[in-house]
Amino acid sequence: MRGYGVDMSVRSILVIHGPNLNLLGTREPDIYGTSTIDDHLRSVRGRVGESVEVSSFQSNSEAEVVGAVQGASGRYDAIIINAGALTHYSWALHDALRSYGGVAIEVHLSNPAAREGFRHMSVLSGAVDGTISGFGGTGYALAAEAALRVGERP
């Protein structure tokens, strides 16, 4: 697994949101809830405390999301990524995540396996340390906790 056996501690996390996630809070609240990106970032910060830097990036452009992952290497110890629809088809994002040297956790607010068939496959899951899905906004706090725990393994 990625991240295991790496001697590091997580001091910085980049939370990445892909296409349409700028609409969180108003987009299909019955599926994605009423929390915004800022609410999810507060959840991450609340879980990791003040000693861990938490930064955020959101784009509706696949190229910009790939660029954010590439730019995270050597700058952030962990990535928490909710890639939105890119999850299901972006091999470019998959390759960028495979090249990233830190801990990477994939998050989904809903449970993709319980939704439409095209959402059942994640092309990213093989390129990250783990996936957390189906727990709504709690998934971000769980991902932060997982990043810290994976990052502390010797």
Query: Annotated catalytic, 32?
Result: yes
The alpha carbons of the chain give a radius of gyration, in whole angstroms, of 14
Q: For this structure, is 100 an active site residue?
A: no
Burial degree of 30 (CB within 10 A; 0-12, 13-18, 19+) = exposed
Q: Which helix (H) or strand (E) holds 58?
A: strand 53-58
d(Cα 3, Cα 102) in Å, to the nearest integer? 6
Catalytic residue among 40, 94, 108, 140: 108
Alpha-carbon dihedral angle through residues 21, 132, 40, 76, given to the nearest 10 degrees:
-90
Active-site residue, selected from the candidate residues 32, 76, 100, 140: 32
Contacts of residue 111, defined as CB under 8 A and 6 or more positions apart, other chains included, come to: 133, 134
Task: Point out the residues that are catalytic.
Answer: 32, 108
